Structure 1
């Protein structure tokens, strides 16, 4: 357990580094998606779309309504 604490501290220390992301040496960005006119920038690749992070719907129930009877809610045999 005592060995785990320094390892966790070192791992968390690297999380605070905030600098612009670049491809590794000798590597390039991924190719443009099929049908795209240009290769997306790193910022565009890191920005989630609405399908990846949908908006939350917090609409509250505005009026109470009685549920209609369920014909298939039968007791077990």
Structure 2
């Protein structure tokens, strides 16, 4: 039973397409965006823009550091 499940999993894992993407028969790529000099290729269309996948900008605290004094941290009146 385990061998059959393992074999089925291997068969499903190996059925992915490894060819280059092309438009369907009779279809064309979208027209070039307004202001673009060329029509984008399929690989260009698959690239995420930086706004869609922003890089991390937070820095993890690696060492304990003393806090700076806050001149606006005043006691209540």
Instruction: Tell me, yes or no, if structure 1 residue 52 matches structure 2 residue 37.
Output: no
Structure 1: gaps spanning 5 or more residues: 70-77
Which of 43, 64, 67 in structure 2 is aligned with 1:65?
A: 67
TM-score (norm 2): 0.58
TM-score (norm 1): 0.58
SS of 2:32's partner is coil
Structure 2: gaps spanning 5 or more residues: none
SS of 2:45's partner is helix
Query: Separation in 1 of the partners of 2:12 and 2:32?
Result: 33
Deviation at 1:37, TM superposition (A): 1.2
C-alpha distance after superposition, 1:3-40 (max 9, x if no partner) = xx98x99876544x211000000000011111111111
Aligned pairs (5 A) from 1:1-77: 14-15=15-16, 17-61=17-61, 63-65=65-67, 68=73
SS of 1:19's partner is coil
How many pairs does the alignment contain? 64
Larger Rg: 2
